Amino acid sequence: MISVAINGYGTIGKRVADAVAAQEDMKVAGVSKTKPDFEARVAIEKGYDLYVSIPEREKLFDEAGIPVSGTVEDMLEEADIVVDATPEGIGAKNLEMYREKGIKAIFQGGEKHDAIGLSFNSFANYHESLGADYTRVVSCNTTGLCRTLKPIDDLCGIKKVRAVMVRRGADPVQVKKGPINAIVPNPPTVPSHHGPDLKTVMKGVNIHTVALLVPTTLMHQHNIMVELEDPVEADEIKARLDETTRVMLVRASEGLASTAEIMEYAKELGRSRNDLFEIPVWEESINVVDGELFYMQAVHQESDAVPESVDAIRALLELEEDNMKSIMKTNRAMGIL
């Protein structure tokens, strides 16, 4: 039973903690918080040992009546590996601490690939992280691209990808972010960073992306155009995506015509926090015209990359050499389709 520390118990960290706790071959050594908020209190109620990220703030936890088991460095002593789910840029700064402690670490997509040296996706390059000391799970958007482009590439080969990334303006809890009444090119330069990020795990893929922010909090949405190497029918693409785990075909004709309706469907699945780990692809959008594939998909940015963090743990610790065996273990434990 592998002990996993979760450094950062926010949007991603709390989901990773629950995912780890659900696995048969790992357990949560502890989670960390910078402040004694409701998430810290819930972590204690769930039975997780809580550690303070900033030692000088331990008194604040005492005053709030929230017990802590020590500092992050104390937590690392109890763990075999750490998943760093701290805010963007903080993880790279924590890397030196992990090196000094001699502990393997997994970072999130907010960190730069060059800062960590290796990126990870369960389907595209699991083997590259086998036995590595550090790896970075690519971002929610890049994970979404991998989930659908990898099986398409396996089926018929990819010449070129062009994608328009319609990104949510903020997560539901981020009340101080926007936009509220605007569409924002983000970045205004072309191409966006999503293409280079995909290339860190799908080596050699020819992709360029543009991205914009819109006033919604629910999901990202992708509009993808793929020039294919080999002739293929739209029905063959549909069949391949339908049989690919962590991808789901949805139909607008069945009332799933928007991200709002997809998230309403996610509530019906009965999962914690209404999470949707799978990438929904609108079946009606899949079409092949003159050798070019078109399709649309959505990404639940709060949860889609969480199962990849679990698979990355197995890769770094060499608990499972076969990526599909790890994927299926993770899926069974998390109830993923």
Instruction: Tell me: is residue 7 an annotated ligand-binding position.
Output: no
Instruction: Tell me: is residue 195 an annotated ligand-binding position.
Output: yes
Instruction: Tell me: is residue 274 an annotated ligand-binding position.
Output: no
Instruction: Tell me: is residue 122 an annotated ligand-binding position.
Output: no
Do residues 226 and 293 touch, judged by C-beta distance below 8 A? yes
- Report the 10 Å Cβ neighbour count for 228: 19
Instruction: Tell me: is residue 127 an annotated ligand-binding position.
Output: no
Instruction: Tell me: is residue 327 an annotated ligand-binding position.
Output: no
146 labelled catalytic? no
Instruction: Tell me: is residue 141 an annotated ligand-binding position.
Output: yes
Instruction: Tell me: is residue 194 an annotated ligand-binding position.
Output: yes
User: Exactly one of 16, 140, 145, 263 is catalytic; which is it?
Assistant: 140
Residue in 109, 85, 94 with CA at minimum distance from that of residue 33: 85
- Catalytic amino acids? 140
> Annotated binding site for NAD(+), which residues?
11-12, 110, 168, 301
- Give the annotated binding-site residues for D-glyceraldehyde 3-phosphate: 139-141, 194-195
Binding-site entries: 11-12, 110, 139-141, 168, 194-195, 301
